[in-house]
Amino acid sequence: MDVLDLARLQFAVTGSLHFLFVVLTLGLAPLVAIMQTRSLLSGKPVFERMTRFWGQIYVINYAVGVFTGLVMEFQFGLNWSGLSHFAGDVFGAPLAMETLVAFFLESTFLGLWIFGWNRLPKRLHLACIWLVALTAYASAFFIMVANSFLQHPAGAVLREGRLVLTDFGALLSNPSLVAAFPHVVGAGLFAGGTVLTGASAYKLFRRTADQEFFRRSLRTGVMWGSIGVLLAVASGYLQLGVVNDIQPGKFDTQLAGQALSNMRLVGELCQLVFPFILAPLLIRNLLARWRWIHPLLMLLTPLPFIAAALGWLAREAGRQPWVVYGELDVAHAMSPGLTYQNVLVSFVAFAGVLGLLALVDYLLIARAVRRGPGQVALGAPAPADPTPSPALAL
């Protein structure tokens, strides 16, 4: 393995790990917003408790995932300065928009939501979580704009050895983007729904307290998991025709073809299981009452993340040897002067940090699930100060 292959492997590993955080963030944000909307409209305490519990898990994943995004930013500067020089004027614009949305708008609204419990008016507080969800998807949209440009450099022309943006509308209507973004939306909803399903099945199987809470969570997870997997599979098949037009032979390579095949296998299996087997069992709470099926539901939890990693691999590996398809190859995109030792050190450091963050994320979420909704700090009223004020003491 030479320095170029090692740099490519580093990007593949770190990109895959980062995307696992992203797909869960995209899945949980709208589900938490829906729970809080039901809480406001119905006035039922169970929906507020669901909002706080699943919202806390969303906050954990978001907080840890932010650091993985920073690692990705460092990687571009260290290893792929050739891409920035050649296409930075075009590729950098959507990345800048994503940074503005994700690190300013989304984090601001999330902060207002976290610290606004019992302080903001209920409708304004609800608006904050919906804005969190909308900005999360806006962030994903701009990332897909940037990635779709690499897949199909629409709206740009080559001038003096660099790509220059000439049509911003073409960048936003890129056929690669139009076909792929709904696929990402479906994958996110599927991941969020599956996490709700698996965690709820775990608590129901153990017959812990709050059985009604987790029956409702299980129902929500299965319903939105079904919607997500149907959207992901349908949009996935729709984009195959587009891919064949703009990147002929993309999936003829062994790695991309195998990744695509395995992703389709997982997707079609889940498309059968969720909407056509599990969803009908929600009638009369059969799925919640049949304790024997709950371990099987727990085993489904990793599947959307496996499918997401395989889909990312198929999309990226099939573009090789191009970074910007048809315009800039991988060798010329790599930073000049890199040595094998330099890349190896950064690879070990970045992969180690991301691996540790993934482990921390899993442990924190698992701990929150084991504790259950009875020990949730998010949205809990501040404890009363037992110390009497001087006026009362007199």
Sequential pLDDT tens for the chain (394 residues) = 789 889 888 888 888 888 888 999 999 999 999 999 999 999 999 999 999 999 999 999 998 888 887 777 777 778 888 888 898 888 888 888 888 877 788 889 999 999 999 899 999 999 999 999 999 999 999 999 999 999 999 889 999 889 998 988 999 999 999 889 999 999 999 999 999 999 999 999 988 778 899 999 999 999 999 999 999 999 999 888 888 888 888 888 888 899 999 999 999 999 999 999 999 999 998 999 999 999 999 999 999 999 999 999 998 888 888 999 989 999 898 888 888 898 899 889 888 888 898 899 999 999 999 998 887 888 777 665 555 544 444 3
Read off the tokens for 34.
Answer: 């829906």
Q: How many CB atoms are located within 10 Å of the residue 182 CB?
A: 16
Dist. CA 54–CA 365, nearest whole Å: 10
Report the alpha-carbon distance of residue 302 to residue 177 in Å, rounded.
26
Cα separation of 160 and 134, whole Å?
39
Of the candidates 163, 162, 102, the one whose C-alpha atom is nearest the C-alpha of residue 133 is 102
β-bridge partners, 359:
none
Q: What are the residues whose beta carbons fall under 8 Å from the beta carbon of 127, sequence distance 6 or more?
A: none
**Long-range contacts of residues 105-113, Cβ cutoff 8 Å, at least 24 apart:** 105/131, 105/135, 105/138, 106/132, 106/135, 106/136, 106/139, 107/66, 109/135, 110/59, 110/62, 113/55
3-state secondary structure of 109: helix
For 244-262, the DSSP string reads: HHHSTTTT-SHHHHHHHHH
The ranges assigned to domains in the chain are 3-379
Chain centroid, CA 292 distance in Å: 30
Gap between the Cα atoms of 277 and 287, Å rounded: 10
At position 256, the amino acid (one-letter code) is A
Residue of 373, 229, 222, 369 whose CA lies nearest to 286: 222
Which pLDDT belongs to residue 300?
Answer: 94
Contacts of residue 381, defined as CB under 8 A and 6 or more positions apart, other chains included, come to 118
Residue type at 99 in one-letter notation: T
pLDDT of residue 196: 96
Q: Give 324's strand partners.
A: 328
Residue with tokens 């790990």: 17
pLDDT (0 to 100) of residue 383: 60
Pair of tokens at residue 160: 């003096």
In this predicted structure, what is the pLDDT of residue 48?
93
Report how far residue 42's alpha carbon sits from residue 183's, in angstroms, rounded to the nearest whole number.
32
Q: Which amino acid is at 188?
A: G
Residue whose structure tokens are 């920073």 = 70
CA distance 329 to 264: 28
Query: What is the distance in angstroms between the CA of the first residue and the CA of the last residue of the chain?
Result: 79
Tokens 């000439």 sit on residue: 166
Q: What pLDDT was estimated at residue 241?
A: 86
The reported pLDDT for the residue numbered 375 is 79
How far apart are the C-alpha atoms of 194 and 27, rounded to whole Å?
A: 9
- Model pLDDT, residue 392: 41
**Prediction pTM value:** 0.91
